[in-house]
């Protein structure tokens, strides 16, 4: 089985499709609030740089049936699926066996993973618990872990990554060459010193006039004054610019001056 899973692409390379991904965050500790997830924002930004849109995120417990159901649902709906968490050495790290069950394949000790881990630990310290980190569903390929050696794995369009942010990030770099993206989502934002309620009607009309543009409104209150950040997203910078000009004109009708974020657009 090839470890390159490539979404169907049109013949004309200039007409790249929108490639979508889902993230499944696995862990009771996330849902309980004991651990704060730090992977979502990083992964979303990283994927967008590769032309892959993170389109859905699910946070689920360490429960085999739930993992199986969500992995099977997502891998049929999205070009790529990423999971984080549950591939360590403890009894509650059940992601590997759950992924194997989702694909209806056996779970085995991957010989390359066993060799890597055995070489990593001092003699006598490659315990049974640590050997659990070498388990990979049959047909899966390893994802390199340059930080702590214990690998992740890929099976078809599902990439199983560690939950520890530094390790997860290093694993992403090792799979960059395996991913085929489409058009990246572009964005620009405005800081608007006008209450959201005052601009809501104009924003609704502008959004309706530009169906290929996403317009988000995020109110703030600072120094005794209400305002909002308006974020405009699209696959084409020209579409963003047109929508921004209309929003800026609407703001100026209230006698206020919008400010574009210099980091974007």
Q: In the 8-state DSSP scheme, what is residue 196?
A: H
Tens-digit pLDDT profile for residues 35-77? 999 999 999 999 999 999 999 999 999 999 999 999 999 999 9
pLDDT, mean of residues 4-29? 71
pLDDT tens digits for 117-153? 999 999 999 999 999 999 999 999 999 999 999 999 9
* Cα 51 from Cα 47, distance rounded (Å): 6
Average pLDDT, the chain: 92
Average pLDDT over residues 202-220: 95
| Pairing state between β 186-192 and 259-260 | antiparallel
Q: What are phi and psi of 10, to 5 degrees?
A: -70, 160
More confident residue, 13 or 120: 120
Name the DSSP letter for residue 185: P
| DSSP per residue, 17-60 | PPEEEEEEEE-HHHHHTSS---SHHHHHHHHHHTTEEEEEEEEE
Q: Band of the pLDDT at 10, cuts 50, 70, 90?
A: very low
- The overall longest dimension of the chain from CA atoms, in Å, is 74
Report the pLDDT averaged over residues 228-232: 94
Structure tokens at 239: 């579409």
- CATH 3.40.980.10 domain locations along the chain: 19-178
The two tokens of residue 121 are 């630990």
Question: What band does 265 get if pLDDT is binned at 50, 70 and 90?
Answer: very low
pLDDT score recorded for residue 7: 53
In the chain, what percentage of residues exceed pLDDT 90?
Answer: 86
**Using a CB cutoff of 8 Å and minimum separation of 24, what contacts does 8-14 make?**
9/180
pLDDT at 105: 98
The side-by-side arrangement of strands in the sheet containing 80-84 is: 52-60, 19-26, 80-84, 158-161, 152-155, 141-143
pLDDT higher than threshold 70 for residue 6: no
Residue 122 phi/psi, 5° resolution?
A: -60, 155
pLDDT score for 222: 84
Mean pLDDT, residues 257-264 taken together: 79
Instruction: Check pLDDT > 60 for residue 3.
Output: no
pLDDT at 223: 81
Which residues of the chain form CATH 3.30.70.260?
186-260
Q: Kindly report the CA angle at 50 between 45 and 55, in degrees rounded to 5? A: 60
More confident of the two residues 225 and 206: 206
Residue 5: predicted pLDDT: 55
Quote the CATH superfamily of domain 19-178.
MoaB/Mog-like domain (3.40.980.10)
Instruction: Find the mean pLDDT for residues 1-17.
Output: 49
Neighbours of 255 (CB within 10 A): 8
The domain 186-260 is placed in CATH, from the list 1.20.1200.10, 3.30.1490.20, 3.40.50.720, 3.30.70.260, at 3.30.70.260
């Amino acid at each position: 089985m090839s470890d390159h899973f490539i979404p169907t692409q049109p013949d004309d390379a200039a007409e790249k499709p929108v490639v979508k991904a889902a993230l499944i965050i696995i862990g009771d500790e996330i849902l309980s609030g004991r651990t704060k997830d730090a992977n979502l924002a990083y992964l979303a930004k990283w994927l967008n740089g590769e032309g892959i849109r993170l389109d859905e995120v699910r946070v689920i417990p360490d429960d085999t049936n739930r993992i199986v159901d969500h992995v099977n649902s997502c891998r049929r709906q999205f070009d790529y699926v990423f999971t984080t968490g549950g591939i360590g050495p403890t009894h509650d790290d059940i992601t590997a066996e759950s992924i194997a069950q989702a694909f209806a394949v056996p779970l085995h000790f991957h010989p390359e993973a066993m060799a890597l881990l055995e070489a990593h630990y001092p003699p006598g310290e490659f315990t049974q618990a640590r050997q659990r980190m070498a388990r990979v569903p049959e047909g899966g390929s390893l994802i390199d872990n340059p930080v702590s050696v214990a690998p992740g794995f890929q099976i078809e369009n599902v990439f199983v990554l560690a939950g520890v942010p530094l390790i997860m990030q290093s694993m992403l770099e090792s799979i960059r060459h395996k991913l085929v993206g489409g058009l990246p989502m572009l964005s620009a934002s405005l800081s608007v010193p006008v209450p959201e309620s005052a601009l809501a009607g104009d924003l609704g009309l502008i959004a309706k006039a530009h169906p290929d543009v996403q317009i988000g409104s995020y109110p703030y209150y600072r120094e005794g004054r209400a305002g909002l950040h308006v974020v405009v997203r699209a696959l084409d910078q020209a579409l963003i610019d047109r929508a921004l000009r209309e929003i800026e004109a609407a703001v100026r009708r209230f006698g206020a001056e919008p400010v574009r974020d210099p980091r974007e657009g």
